[in-house]
Amino acid sequence: MGSRYFFAIVLAVLIGTVSSFAKDYYVSPSGDDSRDGSISRPWQHIAFATCGGSYACSCTVNNPNRITAGDTLFIREGKYSEHDIRMANTGTSAAWIVIKAYPDEKDTIDCQKISSGFNVGTFQTNNYIVMDGLFIKNPLQAGIRIGENYTGDHLIIKNCRFEGLVQNDNSACVFLSTSNDTRIDNCVMVGSDSTNLNYCGIQIFRGNGSDTIQHCDISHFAEGIFYKHCSLGYMQTVIRNNFIHDNHANGLWISSDQVLMQNNLVVNNGTSGVSIWEDAGGTGGSNSSVLHNTVYNQRYTMQMNWGGQYDTLTKDHGVRNDTLVNNIFYGNNGELGSYCVWAYAPDSAFTNNPPDDSSNYNCYYDTATSNVMRWQGTTYTLTNWRVTHPTLDANSIQGAPTFANVSGMMDSIKDFKLLSGNGYRAASDGMNMGANVDSVGLQGSQTTFISDPTRNNRRIFSQFGTQAHCSIFLETHRTALISGEQVYDIQGQQIRNNQVRPNGMYVSVKR
């Protein structure tokens, strides 16, 4: 028998052995920590299951059966008034720890504005962990805080919901600090419209650039996604298929190298849709790609800041070698245009002007001016831009794209579908420019409650199904439904055709 075949057999046996010891545990608000954690005799506290009795755990009662590699902890329906939940053990590549909502049940982890929800990799090493379907409410600092003092690598956060994050410096629903190979997938994050620039849906702090953020709905923060102080940047971070909207400042605020931003819908944010810039202590924003995004209705639709921290000794090398292809940049600021380039360092700091970036097959439009570019204080139409910089935007176009605008308000995902035959099937790959909205936002089957912070935090119900998109709107009455549309009131009751609900807030779901 060859050595490689022997190794494969041994590995299979070892994996099977690990799996054979894996257990399922359960917690319920009506449970008791003196029980065995089985489905019929659940524990009461999540922290008792994850770290009970271990150092610095918020639960002081010893639990010798706290979950470990290969185990799954099911969270039964109800409210858990817990915070600062820590993990005593770590998973492995062959045996992940899974913490998930029990199927078809709704949990609420209410942190009561006291502390973070979960601390993973903060007080001890915690790798290979899945968090699935959790609803984390009212956290202080972070809903899930990962890494910083130890490692929290190879994590999956999916189908989770975050509300009521307290404004604080460097606070986020998911805060990643030196955490690598983490995936945030299909999550809803709703903020409270704070103006603190470090108040974020997701913040990535340092790390090697190997994380993925996809299919999330992020709104009402200062920053949707903030990536800062990356000191390495040698691996690629992927940000794709997200709906990032109605944030006070920036949708995507990126100060790191090697970031792929693809097929995102970034709309109605206060300052910039996408900003690639330099931050003190980081490497800058080089070798990143902005591909097939629709960026709509921000002061700076696409902003690139060069030179703020330029220093060849500290490796703050500036925004260099970035690629902008197949995007729609739709601006609303007459002074600055839809593609704004700032430069704080003198021209002598750069060998090229603008520095060696690639931009092509984009659609540029501004509602207030024919100027759609700004470079070092000078504005340009697309034609003048090509004359000044003939290597850029040779196949780009300038003009207003025709969106479907189904809601009439340009604030829902389906509004940004390009109408057929409008001339914008002009991307480099033969597709329409901008994002494919059918792939943007929440996917699969997920039921969630979302608070709308602009309307006194009243709760609205929405059902997300396969390829379904949500539109929130306020009406005095509704007398008819569009074919294929499902409409619910704020109590979650479906509205029948021709049924009138006065002064209601409704959620429509088009399948």
Q: What is the pLDDT of residue 170?
A: 87
Tell me, yes or no, whether 472 lies in a domain: yes
Distance CA 416, CA 431 (A): 15
Tell me, yes or no, whether 466 lies in a domain: yes
Tell me, yes or no, whether 479 lies in a domain: yes
The distance of Cα 379 from the centroid of its chain, to the nearest Å, equals: 32
Distance CA 417, CA 399 (A): 16
* DSSP structure class, residue 217: E
Q: Is there a contact between 463 and 471 (Cβ–Cβ < 8 Å)?
A: no
Tell me, yes or no, whether 487 lies in a domain: yes
Q: What is the pLDDT of residue 364?
A: 93
Tell me, yes or no, whether 497 lies in a domain: yes
pLDDT of 220-276, one tens digit each? 999 999 988 765 556 789 999 999 999 999 999 988 888 999 999 999 999 899 998
Tell me, yes or no, whether 316 lies in a domain: no
Structure tokens at 506: 């409704």
Tell me, yes or no, whether 501 lies in a domain: yes
Distance CA 293, CA 365 (A): 14
* Among 110, 126, 141, 2, CA closest to 46: 110
Burial (CB count within 10 angstroms: exposed 0-12, middle 13-18, buried 19+), residue 44 = middle
Name residue 199's beta-bridge partners: 171
pTM: 0.83
Domains held by the chain: number: 1
Q: What is the pLDDT of residue 310?
A: 56
Tell me, yes or no, whether 434 lies in a domain: no
Distance CA 484, CA 127 (A): 44
Q: Is there a contact between 45 and 82 (Cβ–Cβ < 8 Å)?
A: yes
Q: Is there a contact between 267 and 293 (Cβ–Cβ < 8 Å)?
A: no
- Name the stretches of the chain with pLDDT < 70: 1-20, 207, 230-234, 279-284, 306-318, 334, 341-356, 421-423, 445-511
Name residue 254's beta-bridge partners: 227, 276
Distance CA 385, CA 338 (A): 13
Provide the residue range defining the domain that includes 498: 455-510
